[in-house]
Amino acid sequence: MSGSHVQSTPLPQDRVSTGASVQTSSTTSAAGLWQSIDSWFARSRSPRTIVIWLTLYLAVAANWPLWSELARIGGAPSVYLPSIALMALLTLCGTVAILSFTAWTRWMKPLWFGVVVLAAVVQHYMLSYRVVMDPSMLANAVQTDPNEVRDLLSWRMVVNVLLVSALPAWALWRVRVEPQPFVAQAWRNAVLLLAAAAVAAGGALAMNRQLAPLMRNNVHLRYMMNPMASIYSGATVAIRPMFKHSRKLVPVAGGAALGTSYAGQVKPPLFVLVVGETARADHFGLNGYARNTTPELAARHVLSYGDVHSCGTNTLASVPCMFSPLGKQDFEARKNDYENLMDVLQASGLAVFWLDNQAGGCKGVCDRVPHASAFQNLEPSVQAALCDGDECLDDVMLRGLDERLAALPAERRNKGVVLVMHQMGSHGPSYFKRSSPDVKRFLPECTTNALAECSHAELVNGYDNSIAYTDRFLGKTIDWLQGQSRRFDPALIYLSDHGESLGEYGLFLHGVPYGFAPEVQKHVPMVTWFSDGMKARRKLSSTCMEAGSDAALSHDNLYHTVLGVMDVTTPTYKPSLDALASCRGDNVASN
């Protein structure tokens, strides 16, 4: 009994000791491994070594959109793997070359980390919305107002950025940068820069047969090399304003005058130009879309032009271009700034007013004419009904419109009025915010700005609801104009600034460089409505206008068409670009 008791007592104790020993050994081993890793990262290294390691990391962690796009373009692995290898070499060399200018002291750590965060953010948006960060896109992003920024933020973005930036943040905090004399630093950095350039040039020359057609046929690839392309685009946007002082404002309003239709007029013209936002022509029911997204416009017997193309694929590019007398080609090649349609209309003696429902404003178009933001100084009841913070539904522009009209100078108002209304329209990615509950008939709709979380059907539903809201807004605007017929001869033209991608070819939103942007980002709706008084005043033939609704038009036609409708004479007016010139005059039978 006694022996049995002695044997049973120490056995559990031995096992406990053994387990504790194993656990302690495992903990010690893990701690030792961590200490080894930490000490490796904490070593003293030259800034050039840090730049090279950082570049290698970003090539792997922040270029998945580029590798995926190359795989999509190439098709077979035998085709795309060499392309990936070549683009990886160019991306590495380009990033090393750029960062060689920062390879100096430990005070460069915040800058290096900033590059990491930039690369992480850019990758998130390339993956989420299939955009590329070319200078035009970055300039548009810089001018994005706080409400639009809020729409683009999400927890998914935070997670994606942390996944890329957490490791380099810790590594940059731990690493020690070797101090070196300035001259030694300078020549070593120069050697690194030249070596990177030489390797890139050698690789490009060796594989020029594959590289040349790849880049020629897929220009967007150069803007997917992260973070090199983003740094280049950022530098371009930052440097460009420094040369703005050399640009002068070229006058074009000289010689503007009112035409013969104003002599002895009984009622002045009242013309409303609605600048749409992010509307695509193929989602307008008027243009044959399967869904009836435009019942209000159809009920008011408007005329829809089905073949109209924009000047650009984002607001910053399109709005100034569509109001310019130069046309797309000359506008993009201009060396100076030019007065625009608003300046000419005002110089003619008409009352001109720009009403904006975008915090981003008119992109300089309305700077020299009376203008206002529709969402400022609103009554609390209107704010509560139509607005979310400083972002409002487009119906807000119809509130107090009679008072705005009455406040225009009487002398000018008695000659005629041109009112421009700049919509919020279908601005993404929060399409669900662009329509009120009473017009949401396409359900379920996507109710988040993280478009990847929604099905394609939900995304399209949200977008189509925004088009339906624009339809109702335009219907209300036409009704308001009809109510002004006792005092004015009213008319309306609606024209969107650009279109939108809703997942076609893996693209979302807009802003793809124009040369290879999909048709849906460039094909825009244009709608006209003329009262009987305006038709008679300008001798417009309804039959002729309907017959010309399939004509190929673009933003280039807007400047000249508006001048023709308003009968404003100016040396810059070109009848050949006036979409209604052939339907106006005594020689056209009026209907």
> Which CATH number fits the domain that encloses residue 559?
3.40.720.10
Domain boundary at 243, 259, 294, which? 243
Rg of the chain in Å (alpha carbons): 31
Three-state DSSP class for 490?
strand
110: pLDDT strictly greater than 70: yes
510: pLDDT strictly greater than 90: no
2: pLDDT strictly greater than 50: no
17: pLDDT strictly greater than 60: no
pLDDT of residue 391: 85
State the DSSP code for 179: P
Residues 34 and 106 in one domain: no
Residue 264 lies in a domain: no
Residue 248 lies in a domain: no
Residues 25 and 90 in one domain: no
The residue to which tokens 């004509």 are assigned: 551
Are 492 and 269 in contact by the 8 Å Cβ rule? The answer is no
pLDDT one-digit tens code per residue, 139-160:
776 666 666 667 777 788 889 8
Q: Are strands 269-276 and 417-422 parallel, antiparallel or unpaired?
A: parallel
pLDDT of residue 4: 41
Q: Are strands 371-373 and 337-338 parallel, antiparallel or unpaired?
A: unpaired
Residue 488 lies in a domain: yes
Residues 73 and 35 in one domain: no
1: pLDDT strictly greater than 50: no
Q: How far is CA 192 from CA 102, 168, 188, 274, 335, in A?
A: 12, 22, 6, 55, 37
| Residue ranges in 143-240 assigned as alpha helix (H) | 146-152, 155-174, 182-206, 208-217, 228-239
Torsion sign, CA atoms 478, 481, 482, 483: positive
Residue 252 lies in a domain: no
Residues 318 and 282 in one domain: yes
pLDDT one-digit tens code per residue, 340-370:
999 999 999 999 999 999 877 899 999 999 9
pLDDT of residue 5: 44
Q: What is the mean pLDDT of residues 20-32?
A: 64
**Adjacent-strand bridge partners of 530:** 491
7: pLDDT strictly greater than 50: no
Q: Does 515 or 273 have the greater pLDDT score?
A: 273
The pTM (predicted TM-score) of the whole model is 0.72
| Cβ neighbours for 493, distance < 8 A, ≥ 6 positions apart | 271, 272, 273, 274, 526, 527, 528, 558, 561, 562, 565
Residues 35 and 49 in one domain: no
389: pLDDT strictly greater than 80: no
**Nearest by Cα to 436 from 411, 52, 445:** 445
Residues 63 and 200 in one domain: yes
The residue to which tokens 């997670």 are assigned: 159
Least confident of 19-33, 82-96, 215-229, 489-503: 19-33
Are 580 and 561 in contact by the 8 Å Cβ rule? The answer is yes
pLDDT above 90: percentage of residues in the chain: 55
- Tell me the HSE value of 77 on the side-chain side, using a 13 A CA sphere: 0
Q: Are strands 553-554 and 523-530 parallel, antiparallel or unpaired?
A: unpaired
| Maximum CA extent, the chain | 131
Least confident of 79-83, 89-93, 441-445: 79-83
pLDDT one-digit tens code per residue, 166-217:
999 988 888 888 888 888 889 998 999 999 999 988 887 777 666 766 776 6
What mean pLDDT is reported for the chain? Answer: 87
Three-state DSSP class for 434?
helix
Residues 277 and 215 in one domain: no
Q: What is the mean pLDDT of residues 287-300?
A: 97
Q: What is the mean pLDDT of residues 323-351?
A: 96
Q: What phi and psi, each to the nearest 5 degrees, are found at residue 105?
A: -130, 180
Residues 315 and 343 in one domain: yes
Residue 379 lies in a domain: yes
Residues 22 and 66 in one domain: no
Residues 84 and 130 in one domain: yes
Distance (Å, rounded) from C-alpha 275 to C-alpha 450?
27
**Nearest by Cα to 57 from 88, 80, 86:** 88
State the DSSP code for 584: B
Residue 257 lies in a domain: no
Q: Does 247 or 378 have the greater pLDDT score?
A: 378
Residues 154 and 230 in one domain: yes
Domain count, the chain: 3
Residue 588 lies in a domain: no
Q: Does 186 or 14 have the greater pLDDT score?
A: 186
Least confident of 38-52, 280-294, 365-379, 452-466: 38-52
Least confident of 8-17, 150-159, 413-422, 521-530: 8-17
Q: What is the mean pLDDT of residues 238-242?
A: 70
Peptide bond into 241 cis (omega under 30): no
Segments forming the whole domain that contains residue 431? 269-583
Q: How far is CA 229 from CA 22, 98, 216, in A?
A: 52, 11, 17
Residue 58 lies in a domain: yes
Residues 117 and 171 in one domain: yes
The residue to which tokens 């601005």 are assigned: 427
